[in-house]
């Protein structure tokens, strides 16, 4: 990490996105890390999981030591119809949860061993089973983080597996369709449940209605584009399915209390 920050300081300290998944393990150092415009405290042995297309950036400190892991979805998902639990359902599905966890000394020791194995294997590109071993080590790394994260979570937040999976399916459908303006009833139909059942589900798990979750995802994408892209306000609106620029401005202001232009000035 220290070398990465030194070589990429101008870019890494400004809001940016990646087309891949990123694990950021702060082994030493204290400060703040910013994910989707939220500030999170960094302490030793804090691990962040950054989803693809999620806006994040480092603070101005150059004194961090740690590890960065970058990988794309196709590396873990080997078949077109595979659903990899790590990418879709757990640590990277962090829109409604904190995008980090703090790891214990035993977990840190396990992760260090896996990092050493990954580093060694990266130098054996032309050997038998190279990608398979890397995939195995990476999945083991993600499993250890997921275990630690579950240990850290309040037991009162645990929900039944069936309802959890249904909620995550809804979240995934929002991710795939938020630009299409689908209604709650259309999402419920895709899940083969009623709108009432979907509302009861989301209220129980995240204490929000389905419509609020849909609007939040749209607003989040607007904020991301206003933060890191060079698109003008009208272009952003069109990209997200708003044909009427004035309605788009009113929509954004309704949920953020600011116009898109004011928000862009504020984050810049």
Model pLDDT for residues 160-170, shown as the tens digit of each residue: 567 877 888 89
Q: Cα separations (Å) of 198 from 163, 166, 183, 231?
A: 10, 9, 12, 35
Segment 69-118, tens digit of pLDDT: 999 888 887 665 555 555 555 678 766 678 999 999 999 999 999 999 99
pLDDT at 164: 79
Q: What are φ and ψ of residue 34, in 5° steps?
A: -115, 125
pLDDT at 155: 46
Q: How far apart are CA 61 and CA 82, in angstroms?
A: 40
Token pair belonging to 171: 């979240």
SS3 100: strand
Segment 201-239, tens digit of pLDDT: 999 888 999 999 999 999 999 999 998 889 999 999 999
**Domains of the chain as residue ranges with CATH:** 2-156 (2.60.120), 161-267 (1.10.10.60)
SS3 186: helix
Segment 16-67, tens digit of pLDDT: 888 899 999 999 999 999 998 889 999 999 999 998 888 899 999 888 999 9
Q: What are φ and ψ of residue 174, in 5° steps?
A: -60, -45
SS3 97: coil
pLDDT at 214: 96
Burial 101-140 (b: 16+ CB within 10 A, else e): bebeeebbebbeebeebbeebeeeeeeeeeeebbeebbee
pLDDT at 82: 52
Segment 234-266, tens digit of pLDDT: 999 999 999 999 999 999 999 999 999 999 998
pLDDT at 98: 85
Task: Name the helix (H) or strand (E) containing 223.
Answer: helix 210-228
Segment 121-130, tens digit of pLDDT: 999 998 999 9
Q: How far apart are CA 3 and CA 6, in angstroms?
A: 5
pLDDT at 252: 95
The dihedral sign for the CA sequence 80, 84, 90, 92:
negative
pLDDT at 62: 86
Give percent of the chain with pLDDT exceeding 90. 61
What is the chain's percent helix, strand, coil content, to nearest 5?
A: 55, 15, 30
Q: How far apart are CA 232 and CA 217, in angstroms?
A: 20
Q: Which residue, 246, 244, 187, is CA-closest to 215?
A: 187
Compute the CA torsion angle 202, 203, 208, 209 (nearest 10 deg): 70
Asked whether the beta carbons of 68 and 33 are under 8 A apart, the reply is no
Segment 123-163, tens digit of pLDDT: 999 899 999 999 999 989 998 998 898 888 764 445 556 78
pLDDT at 43: 95
Asked whether the beta carbons of 47 and 100 are under 8 A apart, the reply is yes
């Amino acid at each position: 990490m220290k070398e990465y920050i030194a070589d990429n300081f101008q870019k890494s300290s400004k809001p940016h996105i990646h087309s891949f998944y990123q694990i950021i393990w702060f082994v030493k150092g204290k400060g703040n890390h910013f994910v989707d415009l939220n500030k999170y405290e960094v302490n030793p042995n804090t691990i962040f999981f950054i989803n693809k297309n999620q806006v994040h950036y480092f603070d101005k400190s150059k004194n961090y030591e740690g590890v960065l892991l970058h990988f794309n979805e196709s590396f873990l998902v080997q078949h077109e119809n595979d659903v990899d639990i790590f990418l879709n359902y757990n640590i990277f599905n962090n829109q409604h949860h904190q995008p980090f966890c703090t790891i214990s000394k035993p977990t840190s020791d396990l992760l260090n061993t896996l990092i050493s194995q990954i580093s060694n294997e990266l130098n054996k590109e032309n050997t038998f089973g190279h990608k398979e071993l890397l995939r195995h080590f990476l999945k083991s790394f993600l499993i250890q983080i997921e275990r630690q994260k579950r240990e850290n979570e309040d037991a009162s937040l645990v929900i039944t597996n069936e309802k959890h999976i249904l909620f995550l399916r809804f979240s995934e459908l929002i991710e795939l369709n938020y630009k299409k303006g689908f209604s709650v009833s259309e999402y419920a139909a895709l899940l083969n449940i009623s709108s009432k059942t979907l509302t009861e589900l989301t209220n129980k798990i995240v204490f929000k209605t389905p419509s609020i979750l849909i609007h939040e995802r749209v607003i989040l994408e607007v904020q991301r584009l206003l933060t890191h892209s060079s698109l003008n306000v009208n272009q952003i609106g069109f990209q997200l399915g708003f044909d009427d620029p004035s309605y788009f401005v009113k929509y954004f202001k309704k949920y953020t209390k600011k116009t898109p232009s004011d928000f862009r000035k504020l984050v810049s």
